[in-house]
């Protein structure tokens, strides 16, 4: 087997519209609607499907709970500019910039949380 790339993943959220606003306004993701009203967030050539807690679509994770995701996005924008933008948008920074290790080597990361307390990491390769 030769896996090419990640296509999409799912996060379970308390409020789909709130999550759409956050990911669109803070991270610039495109909100898309598919399959009779389901919502997703598109970025680059991937997407995040959103499931409403207690109204998930089958099949689903065995324990579908808001706040259990820990996601790292590699950004084109320099991490210092990302930090400035997040502060301008009043996003509390949990950690960073700090050195970490990405899939391809050393990265510099900033951590914060989405409305459901999922941990979001934005990073640049160093």
**In the predicted structure, residue 9 carries a pLDDT above the cut 90:** yes
Catalytic annotation, pick one of 17, 54, 85, 121: 121
What pLDDT was estimated at residue 17? 97
All domains in the chain, ordered by first residue: 8-125 (3.10.180.10)
> What mean pLDDT comes out for the span 53-59?
89
Can you tell me the mean pLDDT for 60-82? 95
Annotated catalytic, 58? no
Helix extents (H) in 3-107: 16-27, 79-88
3-class DSSP state of 23: helix
Cβ neighbours of 59 (radius 10 Å): 6
Q: How confident is the model at residue 70 (pLDDT cuts 50, 70, 90)?
A: very high
pLDDT tens for 17-34 read 999 999 999 999 999 999
Torsion sign, CA atoms 94, 96, 98, 103: positive
Cβ-based neighbour number of residue 58 at 10 Å = 4
């Amino acid at each position: 087997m030769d896996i090419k790339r990640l296509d999409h993943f799912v996060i379970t959220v308390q409020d789909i519209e709130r999550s759409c606003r956050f990911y669109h306004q803070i991270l610039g993701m495109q909100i898309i609607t598919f399959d009779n009203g389901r919502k997703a967030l598109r970025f680059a050539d991937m997407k995040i499907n959103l499931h409403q807690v207690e109204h998930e679509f089958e099949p689903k994770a065995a324990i579908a709970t808001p706040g259990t995701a820990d996601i790292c996005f590699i950004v084109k924008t320099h991490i210092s500019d990302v930090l400035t933008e997040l502060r301008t948008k009043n996003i509390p920074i949990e950690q960073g910039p700090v050195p970490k290790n990405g899939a391809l080597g050393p990265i510099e990361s900033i951590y914060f949380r989405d409305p459901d307390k999922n941990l979001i990491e934005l990073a640049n390769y160093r």
